[in-house]
A and B are shown apart, each in its own frame.
Chain A
Amino acid sequence: QVQLVESGGGVVQPGRSLRLSCAASGFTFSRSAMHWVRQAPGKGLEWVAVISYAGTKTYYGDSVKGRFTISRDTSENTVNLQMNSLRTEDTAVYYCAKDGSSYGLLGPFDSWGQGTLVTVSS
């Protein structure tokens, strides 16, 4: 079955960087776009970024554009999120999610990881 396991979360000071990873298994990784979605404590879901199945297209939410970079390694079946210039408002649980459409980029998210908590605090 599909399994997505996030790692790399933790406590970081404002302005610093952090790199999240998501290890994928149980499906043909090279055929699916992958997303990051976050959820601040007590708040709703916020889409962060997507990378296409081939890695040739990336799109970002307005609040992270220019600071975050999504990438994928097909040889390792991982998707990464490099987060720079972190702000306190980036504090959230970050979920990795698989796009369930055939080669699409806009959802649905048919599988989710359990999330990794990022806390930005001085």
Chain B
Amino acid sequence: SHELTQPPSVSVSPGQTARITCSGDTLPNQYVYWYQQRPGQAPILVIYRDTERPSGIPARFSGSSSGTTVALTISGVQAEDEADYYCQSADSSGTSVLFGGGTKLTVL
């Protein structure tokens, strides 16, 4: 398969927990990475290797993995977390990078 599927949008109130999923047939065998993109800005890496958080990324960002579905969870959502989020992985041959379609997180 050459697809990663994300929900187009997720909405939460400040302080609540947002969960963004990403599904794909290759995910049990390939790492997943998550990027945050604010309007007009380049993406930044927020989760790597399914669950690891780069230095400088707040601890409220976490990743999880279960079979063909992975998830990005943002606990205690803040207004500044409003952005587009993309999952990224690779195809089964290891020669093509895949992006999910992106999820727009709205903080109500």
Chain A positions near chain B (C-beta within 8 angstroms): 35, 37, 44-47, 50, 59, 61-62, 95, 100, 105-110, 112-115
Min CB–CB distance B20 → chain A (angstroms): 14
On whether the beta carbons of B90 and A107 are closer than 8 Å, the reply is yes
Min CB–CB distance B24 → chain A (angstroms): 14
Chosen A-B contacts, 13 in total, with CB atoms closer than 8 Å, are A44-B84, A44-B86, A45-B43, A46-B99, A50-B97, A59-B96, A62-B96, A95-B43, A105-B94, A108-B88, A109-B43, A112-B42, A112-B43
Residue-by-residue, is B24-41 near A (CB-CB < 8 Å gives 1, otherwise 0)? 000000110101010000
Min CB–CB distance B103 → chain A (angstroms): 10
Residues of A within 8 A of B31 (CB): 106-108
Residues of A within 8 A of B95 (CB): 59, 105
Report if B98 contacts A (CB, 8 A).
yes
Residues of B within 8 A of A107 (CB): 31, 33, 48, 88-90, 97
Report if B45 contacts A (CB, 8 A).
yes
Residues of B within 8 A of A45 (CB): 35, 37, 43, 86, 88, 99, 102
Residues of B within 8 A of A37 (CB): 99
Report Cα–Cα, A109/B45, bound state, in Å: 7
Min CB–CB distance A40 → chain B (angstroms): 12
Closest to B102 in A: A44
On whether the beta carbons of A109 and B88 are closer than 8 Å, the reply is yes
Q: A45-B35, A45-B102 are in contact. Are A106 and B90 (CB under 8 A)?
A: yes
On whether the beta carbons of A106 and B94 are closer than 8 Å, the reply is yes
Nearest first, the 4 closest Cβ-Cβ pairs linking A and B are A47-B97, A112-B42, A106-B90, A108-B33
On whether the beta carbons of B54 and A110 are closer than 8 Å, the reply is yes
Residues of A within 8 A of B54 (CB): 110
Contact of B44 among A35, A50, A62, A112 (CB under 8 A): A112
